[in-house]
Amino acid sequence: MIWYRIPLRPVTKKNSQRIIRVNGRLMITPSPQYRRYEKEASAWLIPTEPPIDYPVNVKCTYYFHPNKDGRVPKNLPDLVNLIEATCDVLVKNKILADDNCRIIRTHDGSEVIYSPLEDERTEVEITRLT
């Protein structure tokens, strides 16, 4: 098992995407917030081996603070979008060779936790499948 802790508030690629024009063509790019998150997360994602190219379960646990009244904020991203962003960051940092279904077979156990007692962060647990 490989475990990473990213002590940053989780961010997705899908929220606040930008449309830009490149050589006359429109393209969608991630938000500046995601680009900053991707860069800062890299400091916490140091590969310990060559990029993983075998089947794994990637369990992602996301910690967010609830509102001051204890309720879950309405503007939080979907779990699927959080997982997508985390997998893209893992590939960019050469933890995973790719995020296709031959390598990431499952995301079993992934969840979002709201707690005023926990720091906002992402915990990633990568387990080899047989």
Read off the pLDDT of residues 70-100 as tens digits, 9 standing for 90 and up.
777 777 788 999 999 999 999 999 999 999 9
Domains in the chain, number: 1
pTM recorded for the entire structure: 0.87
Q: What is the CATH number of the domain that holds 58?
A: 3.30.1330.70
Residue 86 burial (CB count, 10 A): 25
Domain residues for 121?
2-128
